[in-house]
Structure 1
């Protein structure tokens, strides 16, 4: 009886430790403050134990906009996009599965979600090889325009372009615009550091090799 109890406690401890390691990896990719918001979201609890097929199905149903963290009243919340991104990073799906999600032609938000996973987890030559063809993808995506940190529009960002393509403003706070897939893919391939549209940190990426074909 004692041996069984010890074994059960050991298994519980191992499972807890494995979960902690997965969370640590995900936290390192998404920044601790963002990950804390993700963990506190109701969607994160809802998808805690779903399998990959169910997760993808939920992503197809729920992803309607590309956005980073948002404010609800005075509280800051993780977006659906960020929560699903964190779950995919935690699952550490094989590259073949993520590539299949990337290349399917039917669900454009799944394509972008997969592209971000690849950008955060793969070597630079794999990133360029997989994401490069999407520079010819001109499907429209609904983007939530991130609030400008100052009173003026930043010339280095997409804010002026997004405002030119404004489609709606809700409650005077949430502003949305249309942006083509290729523009976001260009960002993923060329930018490093804080990417305000998704409120994530993009690690350094090398320029495309001259002999790379896609």
Structure 2
């Protein structure tokens, strides 16, 4: 029962007044706490007190699109349908600006086209500030004349589709509405009258000056004036010619200076590139020279190690042949001689074993020729061999 329209209310635009608000928005308004607590049982007289408590306007806000108190009061006015005189008093109220906005919004929904233009257009002269709650819940600053312009020119306002309305020039063409008169029109007329007076006075002064000029002329003076004008004209022409010549010469000088600067810049760039290429070539040649030196040292050390190993093999082979020859040939002397030869052979074998052991300890017989060469150098210097 609290959400039903007043039985005495009349249909607007051929339908129930509350149907001017979409059904989804109406259901959200009916479920709102402000509607249930503050709008229950309101009449046209008590509605004014609630309208005076408004501090912002707007449609819906937040994630679930909750309606604002302004929209709840608009729905309540559609439900109880106050008289036209009360709505006009809302619009003419100058003390409470949100009461004026509430009445203008309701008249835009329910009034005729002529009433809307007649009562809302004078509000263009109201420039007071208003707070408007946006869809994300934040507040923005607007003005009364901006809200009125939105109601008269736009199709949507405060999340509500406004009823269609005829254009003003159409209503003026049928004579139902007088042409709109701006509040600044009187000031414009005064400014136009002042401009016309200034033009008239200027024309009168010009006419007086022309008369005095023609009255003061004589043939001799005209002749002298013509001669002087030719002389001044020739002098001005010479001066302009000299100025143009100097300007062209200065431009040519600047052009030559720019060319020299570009030439120097390109020369420096080429020298930098040449120096960079030369350094790169020098680095490449140095790397190749180092690689060739390393290869030469490696081949030389390898050849030396091969020659030494070959010499060692030849020496060992000769000693082995001598030893075999000495041990195989029988001595035809006494036992003393045979014992002497045996002692000599044993001494030689011990000496050879000792030399082999020393060679093994020196590390000169290492399979890597480079390490063997390094061990020989270390042995000659009295250092310990490399163990690798």
Counterpart-to-counterpart distance in 2, 1:21 and 1:69: 29
Matching of residues 144-159 of structure 1 within 5 Å = 144-146=133-135
Matching of residues 98-177 of structure 1 within 5 Å = 98-146=87-135, 173-177=136-140
Q: 1:19 to 1:132 in 2, by over 3 A?
A: closer
2:85 matched to which residue of 1? 96
More helix by share: 2
2:308 matched to which residue of 1? none
Counterpart-to-counterpart distance in 2, 1:118 and 1:16: 21
Counterpart-to-counterpart distance in 2, 1:16 and 1:174: 26
Offset, 1:133: 0.2
Higher relative contact order (CA 8 A, sep 6+): 1
8 A contact 1:190–1:207 mirrored in 2: no
1:186 aligned to which of 112, 128, 149? 149
1:85 matched to which residue of 2? 74
Structure 2 gap ranges (5+) = 10-14, 173-177, 182-388
SS at match of 2:65: strand
8 A contact 1:102–1:114 mirrored in 2: yes
SS at match of 2:122: helix
Counterpart-to-counterpart distance in 2, 1:84 and 1:100: 16
Moved segments of 4+, more than 4 Å:
15-22
Q: Does 1:69 align with 2:60?
A: yes
Q: Does 1:56 align with 2:43?
A: no
More strand by share: 1
Structure 1 gap ranges (5+) = 1-11, 147-172
SS at match of 1:75: coil
Query: Over alpha carbons, which structure has the higher Rg?
Result: 2
Offset, 1:20: 8.3
TM-score by length of 1: 0.71
Offset, 1:27: 3.3
Matching of residues 13-32 of structure 1 within 5 Å = 25-32=16-23
Q: 1:21 to 1:128 in 2, by over 3 A?
A: same
Q: 1:175 to 1:95 in 2, by over 3 A?
A: same
Offset, 1:52: 2.0
2:162 matched to which residue of 1? 202
TM-score by length of 2: 0.40
8 A contact 2:87–2:107 mirrored in 1: yes
8 A contact 2:123–2:148 mirrored in 1: yes
Q: 1:45 to 1:127 in 2, by over 3 A?
A: same
Count of residues in Structure 1 that have an aligned counterpart in Structure 2: 169
